[in-house]
Amino acid sequence: MIAAFSTAQQCGAAERLPAIARTIVALAHGMGLGVIAEGVETVEQKDFLARNGCHDYQGYLFSRPLPLEGFEQFLRLKES
């Protein structure tokens, strides 16, 4: 399950985002699914998600969008 937290922010739901995030993570775990948080841009967002059981993320905190070749290079650098 991918939780698009940036979409909630864009819809004016930012003040409800913590409750939305906790609910999505709990729902996914209750269904035996993992969660990937999309749109993570700050360390504070990542830490909040980790405290609430989400440990997989993507977003500008880690990298801007990359073409395939750039992504492969990014992975090689991370592995070394």
> Residue 41 catalytic?
no
Catalytic residue from among 38, 44, 69, 79: 38
DSSP 12-63: T-GGGHHHHHHHHHHHHHHTT---EEE---SHHHHHHHHHTT--EEESTTT-
List residues with catalytic annotation.
38
